[in-house]
Structure formats: C-alpha cells, structure tokens
Structure 1
Amino acid sequence: MTTPLTAADQHVETLRGVRGPVLHPGDGGFAEEVAGFNAAFQPRPSLVVGATTAHDVAAAVRYARLTGAGVRAQATGHGLRSDLAGTVLVTTKRLDGLRVDPRHRTATVGAGVRWRAVVDAAAEHGLAPLCGSSSQVGAVGYTLGGGHGSLGRQFGYAADHVRSLDVVTADGHRRHVDVLHHPDLFWALRGGRDGLAVVTSMTVDLVPVTRLHGGGIFHPGTSAKEVLHTWRTWAPTLPEHVSTSVALLRLPPDPALPEPLRGQFVVHVRFTSTGTAAEADRLLQPARSAAPVIVDTIGEMPFTAIDGVHSDPTRPMPFAESGTGLRELCAGTVDAVLARADASSGSVLAMVELRLLGGALARQPQVPNAVTGRGAAFSLMGLGVPAGPGGELVPQQLHALTTAVQPWATAGPLNLAGDGDHGSLWSAQDRARLAAVRRRYDPRGTLAP
C-alpha cells in the first residue's frame, strides 16, 4: 500500500537539494514530465522528480522510502505498462551524459540516453552499439531487459556486453556495480531489469561494425502463407552474421509511407548482414522469390541508417504487446500464427512478428547474467493499438495468438514478453536467485515491478 504524497508532507525536506523539477499533480509541466511513448497509459504518479544527477535519483528514492511509496524510473516511456498511480516517478531523460572510449571500444551512457546518440557518437570511431530495431529507445532499459537487434546473432544480447553500472539501490545509496563490486546485483540487473535498482549510467562494449547489407522486402499480405513457410525453412540456414525477422503488418494510411504500402496489409521480411554484398544477395534469393515483391529496400547501408531496416514508429502511440519464445518453427507453428493473423483471420493487430534467434544469443557470455530466452530458436510478438475501431479486440487477440503457439513455446527475452507475469521466463533456480537479490537490496519492495 502506498502513501499519498503532498507538498506539505513532513519528509519533503529530503527533496530540497534536488536540482531538477519536483512536481505534484496539477503543477505546471506535470503532464509533459510524466508522459511516455506508450500513450495507452496516462501516468499519474503522486510525485515526479526530473533527475538531473545521480544525487537527485538518490534523494527521490530516500523520499519514497520514508513515505512508504513505490519508485519507478522512466527515460522514454517505451516500456510503460501502467498508470504508475501512488508512486514516485523518477524521470531520467536529463541524465544524458555520453562518452565514447575508442581505445577500449566502450561507451558510458547516462540513463536518459537514447541509442540514436550512441550510434552517431560511436560511428565517428568506426564502432557500433548493440542497439535494437529503433534507435529512439532508451539504451539502459533496452539493455537490462535482454534487448537484441540486428547484430545480436553475431555478438549476443546487449546485456552480455555491459561492463559496469552505476545505480541507486532502494536504501537511497549510490553504488558502482560490476563483476567485482556487488556481483550478485550485477548478474541480476543484466536481464532481470525490474525491481532491483535505479540505474543512472552504464558502460557497454562497442563492436567494430560500420556498415551492413540490409533493409526489407515487402510482399502482398495475400502471400503471407507462401512467405512465412518459405521464411521458416530459409532463416535457420543463415550464418550467424545474418539476422532476419518477418512481420505481418497492417499499415495505417499515413502519407509518410510509400504509396504502394499506405493503408495496406503486407508481409515484411527484414534482413541484415555484416558479410559482403555478393554473399547477401545470394542468401536472399529464396526470400525474394517467395512471392511478388511490392518494395525491396535491401542494399548497402551505413550502420547509422539501422532504423531503416524495421522502420518502427517514431511518434508516441497507444499500444499493447505480448510475445513468447519458440523452441522451433514448424509448419504447424506457422499455420497457427496465420490462423490468427492473416488477411482472413479477422485480426486487428498492427504487427505480428517472427524473429530468428540462436547464434550468439543462445550462448552465455563470459560473465553470466540473468538474460532469459537463450533456449528459444525464434520469438513471436504481437502488437496492437487498443484504441479506435477494433481496439477493444486487441487484448483478446494477443492472448489468442500466444495461446495458439503454446505447443512450441518456451521462455523468450523479457523485452519481447509484453504485459503480464514474467516470473515463468526464468528457470526455478534463476527465479529463486533473482528473488534473493531483490530481498537483499530491496527488502521493503520499494522498487518492486
């Protein structure tokens, strides 16, 4: 049970040294400060602290501890899953420090830094971060939740390449966390993400990648069966330096989209390779010939253009999502997905995606972590807009999609799991270990997810 917070609270003195804005509901700028990318939720915390330093974060956590409130942290709000009622919300977007060390191939990034800034800064030194499909996502939250992108099969999860973390734990103390300092917390944060500490910065490895051969192939939605069955047999044959996914997309009538795609139901095959252009073109032949092609954007590209592969939305929008890992992708699995997502299914879901995993994603890093989903060969994720025509159908259709593939399901990455209880993602042993770390560093549940 959380305690309502007011400006007259006896513990408000704890916040006097905070340099950033401290706002209550009704204060000017409150709504703008708490807004997140996922517009399906309208955050209404009891207090928001716009942190500008780690000191601000620590003060907010100490205040919450004194008042009995919970604490949540938010950088971009891509992972927003509730209205945050009764909490102290720490917004970290002002923690935007970024330093690239080309000699050691690392980047130290503040909790508010988006991948776009890291991609651009690293590129100046011929390096790249292990970011995801959208560079607009916050680097820290993505990394701690087991994020993986176009370089994942070659290099592993972003969490596998975290060198250290600077955090504030639930007691309000600032700590440096790495393999030697608080190693149990270091293990848990990298993959466990929630309810452990508020991260203020992290240092991650960069990789020597400057270009890709990549992009997407759009096929008509009426060819979904042919494309998905081709993709399920083709994708597992690809080398580890190649990544691919395929998505059934119901595109909006957005003038920014090319005319052949605007407002259409299409199948989008995504592809990236760090190999040669000639090899990539040879590997792509089955995907290109699976069905008629509407648009083909695949070609040589600098890594800085990585957003163009998936072309994820860049403006805030309401959405709900759910997903799972898959042990295998057989004909029955694909048919189960098509029955709930193709043109004749009655689906209102904006996207249903299958992603090839494996490669380095299946292997533990040199310093093990709590990332889940290493046993999954593929992942499935559905996303819908719970607003407008058909929006009320989104929750049940997401549930039906993941239920339909249960015979082939296994734990997948946390970031792709969507809403709901995530406890079953980990083995009983790792679940117990995570619980023990949370009890040690947050016995009151101040940071509980």
Structure 2
Amino acid sequence: MNILRPGQDGYAEAVAGFQTAVPSAPAAVVVAESAEDVAAAVRHAAEHGLTVSVQATGHGLTAGTDGLLISTRRLTGVEIDPAARTARVEAGVRWEAVLEAAGKHGLAPLSGSSPDVGVVGYTLAGGFGLLGRRYGRAADHVRAIDVVTADGRLQRAEPGSDLFWALRGGRDSFGVVTAIEFDLVPVDRLYGGSLTFDTDGVPAALRAWRTWSAAAPDTLTTSIALIRYPDLPMVPEHLRGRHIAQVRIAYLGEDGDELVAPLRAAAPVLADTLRPMPFTESGSIAAEPRHPHGYHGTNATVSQLNDAMLDAILEHAGPGVATPPVLIVDRLGGALARPPRTPGVGWDRSAEFVVRALSVVGDGGADAVRTRHAKLFDALAPWTTGRLLPFVYGEHSPSEVAESVFPAADLRRLRDLKRRYDAHGVFRAG
C-alpha cells in the first residue's frame, strides 16, 4: 500500500477531482489498485485514528483538509453478463465505459445525463437517470455491493441485509464500496435530444413544457433547463449571450416527432437536436461540461408546478436576473413513483417534479450562491416536499443534508446502522 502525503510526487494528481470549489488537502492519500488495497487502507486509518474519505471521479465533495483519502479511480473493471442482463463494475468506473460495454449486447444501464460521472457514487445516492420514468432509480436495480467496512473487512452486501438497504440511497457513511452489481435493461436505441428556445420564448416554453409533461407516458423522461450562456468565442455561435430554455427528452417510442409536436409549436425553436439515436450516445442529450470546475447546487421536490411557482422560477432564474443559476426542472412520476422490488432508503415518491439550481462558485464564494438560491427555494417552499441527495452539491454539513433528504424514520435507522457499522466514526461522511 503506497501512501502519498502533501508535497510528494503524485499527491496533487491523486486528490484532484471534478468539483474544485471545496478544498481538498488530506493528510494522506492512498491510490488503491485493488479491493485488498482499500481494506488495508481502512485498517491503517482505524489503527492510527484517522478519518477516511473516498473519491473516484470527484464530482461530489472532495476530501477536506485532514484524514486519509482513498482514491478508487484505478479500480476500472467492467463485466457484462448478457444472459442475466447484469453488470459488475469496480468503484472507479464511469458510465461511459458501461454504456459502451453493455451497448454491444443491446443493453443499457440506468445511467444519468453525463457519461463522465462515476457509477458507484451516482448509484449510492439514488441514481435518477434518463430512463427513470420507465425503470425507476438506479439504486432500485442493484443486486449486490462489495464494501469494506470500518473494521477493514471486505463484505458482500446483498438483498435482505441492513447494509444493503443503507448503501442504496444512504450513500457513503458505511464503508468503501469497491464494486457493485446491477441490472441492465433491454434498450439499445431511443428518441432523444433537445429543443432550445431563445430568450423571448423562455416563459412560453416553460409553461408549454409544464402542460405537455403532465400527460407524458412512462416511456418518456424529460426535463427543462434555463441556462444563460456567456458571449464568448468558445460558446456555439447560436447560443452566445442568450438565456435559453432547453427541453430535454429521452423517449422509448417510435412516434417521437408526433409526441413533441406541441412543444415545437410553443415558441420559435432556436435549435432542434431530437432524433433516433443509439443509447450509447445518450450523453449528447444534455451535453454537460466535462472540465473540472467549482459549483454549488441544491434542489427541492415539489407537489405541483403551478403558475405562481413558474413566476418564481422566472423571477429568480429567468432572463433579466443579474446572476442566474442553471435551473433544471425534472418531471418525476412513472416508475419513480412506484415502490421498488427491494426496499431501500426512501424519498418522497409522490412528488411530481424536482427543481434544481446549480451555480458556478465565483468571487463571492459558496455563501453568495447559497443566498441567491435561497430566494428561489423560499418562494417554492409552500409546495416543497423534500430534497434529493443526488442533486445536492457543495454542502459542508452532512447532518443538515441528511435531515433534509431522508424521511425521519429512515434517518433514525441510518443513524442506528452508522453506530453499528462505524461506531468510532472512521468514515467522515456520516
């Protein structure tokens, strides 16, 4: 086991992540090459009174400024069983590798909008993806989890165990996951892409999408994003300096053009990328950035999306706002509203939408972003039912996050399990 400390060759590369807004300078870092390396690192931390944090792709919170960081990014094994329609992937794997491997067999994972995101972190947080309304969350389709617990033992968590329940939605408080096994679905193509509306059409597009998505079949997963693009050369010319509304669509049907006709008529369309595509190209629907940057984000699940709420969204995130966030509203429902085959950590499945705000952290720091976001979510509070863990970025207090995202009964059970599996607080995320 090779332990790197600040100033040593390889340390800076090992701690670097996609999220750059949170300082990452752990006292030591282990770049694991195997599950056995992870187990040895956890035992070392426990013996020396060090807390442990974990990082693969670094899209979430990074390691802070103390303790031991275990980097799992070199655990990149991917195994596909086409007969069983399952995948087994190690902890450093990104979705793009699974998309490619599963696609060769006409299968697809329940991946998210970005193929650059790590499979394990995404799934343990719940996993709300492009096929969510048809198949549910990624966490609901996990079959087994290999995890190193606080005593340094590598265990296999399977349905029926408390550890399996806690990890699927409770995320990273109970151990270091080294591999995960999950279902694949028989999808090789979809109708997908986006409709982009110019600044003047943002209010009409938002209202049209609200009405249209209310009647969406379960085979359609859709969201709408409000984004202001800077007037800079690296931005595509048709988007420079514009504050657009972009409707994003992933549809498992043959009548896509007919389905989206009402949206195309809602306002003049600035760009239309909708087309039949291989599922391996599904990352092009949102086309999210792949370069590391600092960001902060939060969200709220809501019971409805009425006119007062749309007015609040436009007031705090629409054209004319001095420093608007990227604002995304996702349609929930469908399979997301139904209980999973194997119970896991819960969330409000009756919610109709989730509203997400994401901002780059600038000179004012994360506190300035939080203040701006609070104005929007305070306005949505009368209809808010909770928050979703996958869309909370950059928060410093795990306790505050837990109390806002987990149902009270599940939170009590999670805390009991935390005491059972990590009585000495080895894993800092809890």
TM-score, reference length from structure 1: 0.91
Equivalent of residue 275 in structure 2, options 270, 295, 299: 299
Deviation at 1:413, TM superposition (A): 2.3
Matched, 1:318 2:298: no
Matched, 1:131 2:111: yes
Distance 2:39 2:230 in 1: 43
Distance 1:390 1:53 in 2: 37
Distance 2:168 2:24 in 1: 26
Cα gap change, 1:376 to 1:43, in 2 (>3 Å): same
- Deviation string 1:357-390 (CA, Å, 9 cap, x unpaired) is 1111111211111142423211111111112599
- Deviation string 1:72-108 (CA, Å, 9 cap, x unpaired) is 111000012x551112100000111110000100000
Equivalent of residue 19 in structure 2, options 27, 38, 46: 38
Secondary structure, aligned partner of 1:135: coil
Matched, 1:343 2:314: no
Segments of 5+ residues of structure 2 without an aligned counterpart are none
| Equivalence for 1:411 | 386
Secondary structure, aligned partner of 1:310: coil
Matched, 1:50 2:28: no
- Contact 2:346–2:410 (CA under 8 A) maintained in structure 1: no
| Equivalence for 1:71 | 52
Secondary structure, aligned partner of 1:268: strand
- Contact 2:14–2:71 (CA under 8 A) maintained in structure 1: yes
Distance 2:91 2:46 in 1: 21
Deviation at 1:254, TM superposition (A): 5.4
- Contact 2:387–2:404 (CA under 8 A) maintained in structure 1: no
Matched, 1:332 2:312: no
Query: What amino acid maps onto 1:324 in structure 2?
Result: A
Equivalent of residue 181 in structure 2, options 187, 193, 203: 203
- Deviation string 1:206-225 (CA, Å, 9 cap, x unpaired) is 00000011100110123221
| Equivalence for 1:395 | 370
**Number of equivalenced pairs:** 424
Deviation at 1:67, TM superposition (A): 1.9
- Contact 1:348–1:393 (CA under 8 A) maintained in structure 2: no
| Equivalence for 2:64 | 84
- Identity percentage over the alignment? 44
Matched, 1:142 2:142: no
Distance 1:315 1:373 in 2: 33
Matched, 1:169 2:149: yes
Query: What amino acid maps onto 1:72 in structure 2?
Result: S
Distance 1:302 1:185 in 2: 36
Query: What amino acid maps onto 1:57 in structure 2?
Result: V
- Deviation string 1:23-60 (CA, Å, 9 cap, x unpaired) is 00111121111001011123100010000111111111
Query: What amino acid maps onto 1:288 in structure 2?
Result: R
Matched, 1:93 2:68: no
Equivalent of residue 208 in structure 2, options 198, 215, 230: 230
- Contact 2:170–2:414 (CA under 8 A) maintained in structure 1: yes
- Contact 1:242–1:274 (CA under 8 A) maintained in structure 2: yes
Q: Which consecutive segments of 4 or more residues in structure 1 shift more than 3 A?
A: 252-257, 388-393
Segments of 5+ residues of structure 1 without an aligned counterpart are 1-17
Q: Give me the CA root mean square deviation.
A: 1.6
Query: What amino acid maps onto 1:31 in structure 2?
Result: A
| Equivalence for 1:179 | 159
Query: What amino acid maps onto 2:251 in structure 1?
Result: S
Distance 1:90 1:272 in 2: 35
Distance 1:256 1:304 in 2: 26
Deviation at 1:252, TM superposition (A): 3.6
Query: What amino acid maps onto 1:400 in structure 2?
Result: K
Distance 1:255 1:92 in 2: 36
Matched, 1:370 2:348: no
**Further displaced range: 362-371 or 393-402:** 393-402
Distance 1:221 1:87 in 2: 47
Deviation at 1:264, TM superposition (A): 2.2
| Equivalence for 2:102 | 122
- Deviation string 1:251-283 (CA, Å, 9 cap, x unpaired) is 24454543101342111110110110xx22122
